[in-house]
Amino acid sequence: MAGHTDNSILIEAAIDVVWQMTNDVVNWPDLFSEYASAEILEQRGDTVRFRLTMHPDEQGRTWSWVSERTPDPRTRTVRAHRVETGPFEFMNIYWEYREEENGVRMRWVQDFHLKPDAPTDDAGMTAHLNRNTAVQMQLIKDKVEAAARAAATG
């Protein structure tokens, strides 16, 4: 059994703005509410390896992991996976950007499987990720649209 999520949101901005802002890993702490820091560890061509650190949880614990992502500007897609998997046996993420009449549809597909000793199971993590993804996508939408409006007005 594996977990799977598939979420998208329409961002009313030009594709170049959406692409640039959402692929600027160093600035993810300004884009996502859950990340305290993002540190680039290595860059090889378009592939970037980085450490994400979350804000402390309710118990004061700070979670951190290393991920790797490869954006493809030609197809406007990104393939990513966790290198340090933590509670996951694997975590793969696919980002897709598609121009629509009123903006850009940004889609995240996450495929994963949790280790047997993880604090939840695949179904529980699927529910958590679906809830959290909706929150993070809305924040990103709001921030990218605000940046696009500010750029348009000079």
> Which residue ranges form the domains of the chain, and what is each CATH number?
3-34+67-152 (3.30.530.20)
CA dist 93 and 71 (Å) reads: 11
Q: What is the pLDDT of residues 128-152, one digit of tens each?
A: 999 999 999 999 999 999 999 999 9
Q: Is the pLDDT of residue 65 over 90?
A: yes
pLDDT, mean over the chain: 96
Q: Which percentage of the chain shows pLDDT scores above 70?
A: 99
Q: Which residues contact 142 (CB under 8 A, 6 or more apart)?
A: none
**Cβ atoms < 10 Å from Cβ of 37:** 15
Q: What is the pLDDT of residues 5-46, one digit of tens each?
A: 999 999 999 999 999 999 999 999 999 999 999 999 999 999
What's the confidence (pLDDT) of residue 95? 98
In which element (H, E) is residue 11 found? strand 3-11
The whole-number pLDDT of residue 57 equals 85
Q: Give, in degrees to the nearest 5, the angle at Cα 79 between 73 and 84.
A: 135
Instruction: Give the phi and the psi of residue 56 in degrees, each rounded to 5.
Output: -55, 145
- The reported pLDDT for the residue numbered 46 is 95
* Closest to 112 in 3D by CA, of 122, 104, 120, 102: 122
At residue 61, the pLDDT reads 87
End-to-end C-alpha distance for the chain, whole angstroms: 51
What is the pLDDT confidence band of residue 66, given thresholds at 50, 70 and 90? very high
